[in-house]
Amino acid sequence: MGFKLDYLLSILPRLISAAAVNLRLAVIIMLLALVLGTALTIVRSRKIAAVNACIAVVISFVRGTPLLIQIFIAYYVLPAVGLDLSPEVAGVSAIAFNSMVFVSESMRGGLATIDAGQIEASTALGLPPHAIWLKVVLPQLFRRIVPVLINEATIVVKGTALLSVITVVDVLRTSQQIASSSYRPFETMIGSALVFLVINLAISLSGRLAERRFAAARA
Amino acid sequence: MSAVPVLRVSNLTKRFHGVTTLDQVYLDVHAGQIVALIGPSGCGKSTLLRCLTWLEQPDDGFIEVAGKPLGRELMPGGVVRRHSRRQIDALRPQVGIVFQQFHLWPHMTALENVVRPQTVVLGRSRDEATRRGAELLMRLGLADRMDRHPHALSGGQKQRVAIARALAMDPALMLFDEPTSALDPELVGEVLAVLRTLADIGMTMLVVTHEIGFAASLADRIAFMDRGRILEEGPARDILAAPKEPRLQSFLDLVRTDHRIVRTTANPTE
Ligand SMILES: Nc1ncnc2c1ncn2[C@@H]1O[C@H](COP(=O)(O)OP(=O)(O)OP(=O)(O)O)[C@@H](O)[C@H]1O
Ligand SMILES: [Mg+2]
């Protein structure tokens, strides 16, 4: 069974419309990861020993276990403790949780490079703590971690393919469905790979443009 | 001289890990005065300025800015009441501080550095804050530098932006920590000129410096600090011409025989 380009082209429209699911979930996940990652960073910066110890345990779990297992836990284990989540919600929660940790870790790294003198100057001017975060610290942090965020976004997009195993009908699951009825896994898998590749190339490219604009704004 | 000093420091004491850095400091600064704070390295000058903006919490003593207690106050009956962060923040704009390293916000233009604290802290409208900021930067000779980010400014320009940022809050008092130390020696005269323009508009200032010539040509009064205490304070001329404290005498002898300082202070006294 050889590779047929016209068959690949004929299934692309179905794969592309399924990609809307991956894109939508990836956007939601990234937004959640940014908001939660920022919140987590602020909580950790308070340096409350007991809180940070708990957070450290959670972080080592997230970093030390496969994302697929974390997704299974959200989908199969959480209902046992009364949290019955739909496949999409469970999947989004698991990946967002995972991503939140990586966002927070890179923000923490960026935080160390922000001169403490700036914070003191802000304090001396009378800026309340929340204004110091919003006007002084976070704008600089976000600019500094743009490359990390772009990278994280591509990982999240790829991660949404894992949700096919908990019945979310995304690009991968759609292509599996097509393959099982047409018996042409070659073209369908190449097709879904292409869809992911194009999305991630677009993200990387726009990320690089955004970085260049930030650099230009600073010069 | 008005009855209420712009700054009144009484019995201010600060310890770091049990080591006394400020030891019962008393100091009054009256409206329109320029007081130079001199003293050997490590005697506690910067720590005093940091306490005056409550960046460092003194262990004991009181600070009053234009008659209002800062940080803590003595209530009737001898009870000491500590202020909340909100109360302290409300008074902080009254005390402008210009740090040795200026600490501008690198992600904002010079003008934005001056505008932002006005809108955030004082609640001024953007228009009003921009007008005030542009006016101050213009007066400090930065009319053509307003749209630049700090990294594209020279040290002296950064310092003037930092001064404008503090002045825009309409402070009652300005604090300067070694305004000449982070700049090239040739710029000492320029810094002096900037501080003189502030003096001309009647700004009250407390200036930490280790350059005696700078202090002599700028200050009305000089306070000498050693080992956390203010040992002698008085009119600049008297302090320099007839120091009473033996430690002040030897400090002056030391800095006057230091050739580098003699040379760099030659400009401002010209
Ligand atoms: N955060 C801190 N923790 C511990 N010790 C400190 C701290 N800040 C200052 N000190 C100590 O307090 C003393 C006074 O320091 P300070 O910076 O006020 O001196 P200074 O008079 O400004 O000196 P210089 O002329 O060198 O700037 C020094 O011995 C310093 O080591
Ligand atoms: Mg100092």
pLDDT on residue B111: 97
Distance from CA of A67 to the nearest CA of B (A): 36
Q: At residue B175, does pLDDT exceed 90?
A: yes
Comparing A214 with A208, which gets the higher pLDDT? A208
The verdict on the CB of residue B257 being under 6 Å from ligand 1 is no
Residue B187 clears pLDDT 60, i.e. is over it: yes
Residues 6+ away with beta carbon under 8 Å from B246: none
Ligand 1, atom nearest to B56 Cα: 1
- Nearest CB neighbour to A118, from listed B97, B103, B117: B103
Of B101, B106, B116, the CB nearest to A135: B116
pLDDT bracket for residue B176 (50, 70, 90): very high
- Give, using CA atoms, the residue closest to atom 19 of ligand 1: B42
A216 has pLDDT over 90: no
User: Residue B255 above 90 pLDDT?
Assistant: no
pLDDT at B268 over 50: no
Query: Looking at residues A188-196, what average pLDDT do you find?
Result: 94
pLDDT of residue B82 exceeding 70: yes
Q: Least CB-CB distance to A127: which of B97, B120, B152?
A: B120
Q: Give the C-alpha separation, B199 to B156, whole Å.
A: 18
Closest atom, ligand 1, to C-alpha of B50:
18
pLDDT tens sequence across A117-175: 999 999 999 999 999 999 999 999 998 898 899 999 999 999 999 999 998 999 999 99
Tell me, in angstroms, the distance from the centre of ligand 1 to residue A95's CA: 48
At B256, the pLDDT band (50, 70, 90 cuts) reads: confident
Choose among B102, B121, B151: nearest Cβ to A125: B121
Ligand 1 test: best mutation among B47, B180, B206, most atoms within 8 Å of CB? Answer: B47
B204: closest CA among B27, B25, B16?
B27
Confidence band, pLDDT 50/70/90 cuts, at residue A79:
confident
Which residue puts its alpha carbon closest to atom 4 of ligand 1? Answer: B16
Smallest CA–CA distance, residue A36 to chain B, in Å, is 24
As given in the structure block, the two tokens for residue B86 are 């909100």
H or E element at residue B208 = strand B205-208
* Per-residue pLDDT, A30: 97
Q: Closest residue (by CA) to atom 31 of ligand 1?
A: B42
Does the pLDDT of residue B33 top 90, yes or no?
A: yes
Q: Which residue has the tokens 């008393």?
A: B26
Strands (E), B50-180: 60-65, 68-70, 72-74, 80-82, 95-98, 173-177
Predicted confidence (pLDDT) at residue B1 exceeds the cutoff of 80: no
Cβ-based neighbours of B55, under 8 Å, separated by 6 or more: A120, A123, A124
User: For residue range A92-116, what is the model confidence (pLDDT) as tens digits?
Assistant: 999 999 999 999 999 999 999 999 9
pLDDT of B186 = 80
**Which residue's C-alpha comes closest to atom 5 of ligand 1?**
B16
Cβ distance of A127 and B103 shorter than 8 Å: no
Q: Does residue B16's CB lie within 6 angstroms of at least one atom of ligand 1?
A: yes
Report residues near ion ligand 2: CB below 5 Å: B 46
Q: What is the mean pLDDT of residues B104-120?
A: 96
Q: What is the pLDDT of residue A218?
A: 58
Segment B45-72, tens digit of pLDDT? 999 999 999 999 999 999 999 999 999 9
pLDDT of B259 strictly over 60: no
DSSP annotation string for chain A: ----HHHHHHHHHHHHHHHHHHHHHHHHHHHHHHHHHHHHHHHHHT--HHHHHHHHHHHHHHHHS-HHHHHHIIIIIGGGGT----HHHHHHHHHHHHHHHHHHHHHHHHHTTS-HHHHHHHHHHT--HHHIIIIIIHHHHHHHTHHHHHHHHHHHHHHGGGGGGGT---HHHHHHHHHHHH--HHHHHHHHHHHHHHHHHHHHHHHHHHHHHHHHHH-
> pLDDT tens digits for B189-232?
888 899 999 999 999 999 999 888 888 889 999 999 999 999 99
Please tell me the distance between residue B49's alpha carbon and the centre of ligand 2 in angstroms: 9
A/B interface, count of CB pairs below 8 Å: 65
B44 C-beta closer than 6 A to ligand 1 = yes
- Give the pLDDT confidence score for residue B260 in this predicted structure: 53
Q: Which residues of A touch B55 (CB under 8 A)?
A: 120, 123-124
Kindly determine whether residue B121 and residue A127, on different chains, have CB atoms separated by under 8 Å: yes
pLDDT value at position A16? Answer: 94
Taking any CB pair shorter than 8 Å as contact, residues of chain A touching chain B are: 115, 117-118, 120-129, 131, 135-136, 139-140, 143, 218-219
What residues of B are in contact with residue A124 (Cβ under 8 Å)?
53, 55, 92, 95, 97
Q: What was the pLDDT predicted at B78? A: 86
